[in-house]
Structure 1
Amino acid sequence: MADEFIKGLGIFTGGGLAWLTLASWYRTPGFESTQQLVAPITVSGDNLFNALGIVLMDVFFWFTLIGALTFWVLIPGTRELRKAIENRRTE
């Protein structure tokens, strides 16, 4: 169980840091703004690097959420379900 927790934590911190960096570049209109990191994208994807950054921002967001939930909820839940099914068969 500790193995799954540390994998989920690594995905959560790494992906979250990457999303936070990209969101601060593309979704912060100014430091005086109250909508930092959640404002609409302020830069158009007119060149390759901006388009890649905007796409990677969404990729890292979903990777962080799905990856952490997979290692923290789905894998342990599946193992517990298998154990319950095996115990039910042996009774």
Structure 2
Amino acid sequence: MADEFIKGLGIFTGAGLGWLTLAGWYRTPGFESTRQLVSPASPSPASADMFNLLGIMLMDVLFWFALLGPLAFWIVLPAVRQARKAMENRSA
């Protein structure tokens, strides 16, 4: 169980740090603004070049990976193992 916890924590911190970095670059219009990290992406996807589009897409991927990755290790995998053990005990 400890290895699953640290895997989930590693995914959460790594993907969260990546998202925070990219959100700081693309979603912060200015440091005096009160809408940091939540404003729409700076270069609009219609006028952005390839690298900015990849950064904006990677920012969204990292956000969802930071949310769903730990849930897989902290909730889904232990639940599957418990269900498998229960099915083995039931059949025996």
Give the aligned residue type for 1:72: W
Partner of 2:6: 6
Within 2, Cα distance between the matches of 1:41 and 1:18? 16
Contact 1:15 1:61 in 2 (8 A): yes
- Per-residue CA shift, 1:27-56, capped at 9, x if unaligned? 111112222111111223421211111011
What TM-score does the superposition give when structure 1 sets the normalisation length? 0.90
Q: Is the 8 A contact 1:19 1:61 kept in 2?
A: yes
| Cα RMSD after superposing both structures | 1.2
| Structure 2 alignment gaps of length 5 or more | none
Aligned length: 90
Which residue identity lines up with residue 15 of structure 2 in the other structure? G
Identity %: 68
